[in-house]
């Protein structure tokens, strides 16, 4: 794939992300108060930075696991076909589970993952997404918690990539092609 030239315009600062995570963690702690262990499931790869910051803010007993699902590959448009590339290592039956997603746009990945994990009979299953693009939604799904609602822009940074680049940016930026 040949990459078109682009620039990145800042949309959401690192400081705003940190403040929002702190706020969300208070709500998550209330929801899972009394849990013996919360299984935090990060959807790879885009959520890895978000999940790291999230679990450091949570004052709960935590176990971290990962699931890799893909509907994009290196493209900018969802294929609408969700593939599981890496499954959980541990069982979640009877456990409290929080699924961490980087961005929900069409909703296909979130819908597929929720259906898959509910079939494994967790005690409680909740979802959180750093970013939500409701204008792109093609299936009815909504995260229990959302960091930021954004317009229909292609974004990178804070773990989110374009063709495996820009994941290391500490902020969320909008890709503008030149």
Residues with catalytic annotation? Answer: 105
CA–CA dist 156, 125 (Å, integer): 27
Pick from 109, 114, 107, 110: which is nearest to 139 by CA? 107
Instruction: Please name which of 103, 37, 99, 97 lies closest in space to residue 67, comparing C-alpha atoms.
Output: 99
CB 80 within 8 A of CB 21: no
* Alpha helices per DSSP H over the chain: 14-31, 48-57, 108-118
Largest pairwise CA distance in the chain: 52
Pairing outcome for strands 62-70 and 38-44? parallel
């Amino acid at each position: 794939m040949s990459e078109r030239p682009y620039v990145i315009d800042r949309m959401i600062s690192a400081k705003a992300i940190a403040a929002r995570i702190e706020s969300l963690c208070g709500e998550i702690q209330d929801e899972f108060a009394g849990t013996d262990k919360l299984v935090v499931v990060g959807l790879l790869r885009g959520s890895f930075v978000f999940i790291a910051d999230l679990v450091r803010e949570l004052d709960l007993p935590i176990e971290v696991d990962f699931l890799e699902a893909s509907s994009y590959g290196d493209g900018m448009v969802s294929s609408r076909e969700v593939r599981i590339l890496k499954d959980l290592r541990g069982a979640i039956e009877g456990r409290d589970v929080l699924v961490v997603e980087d961005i929900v746009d069409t909703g296909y990945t979130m819908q597929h993952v929720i259906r898959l994990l509910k079939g494994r009979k967790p005690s409680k299953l909740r979802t959180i997404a750093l970013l939500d693009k409701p204008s792109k939604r093609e299936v009815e799904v909504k995260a229990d918690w959302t960091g930021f609602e954004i317009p229909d822009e292609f974004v990178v940074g804070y773990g989110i990539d374009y063709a495996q680049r820009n994941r290391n940016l500490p902020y969320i930026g909008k890709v503008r092609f030149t």
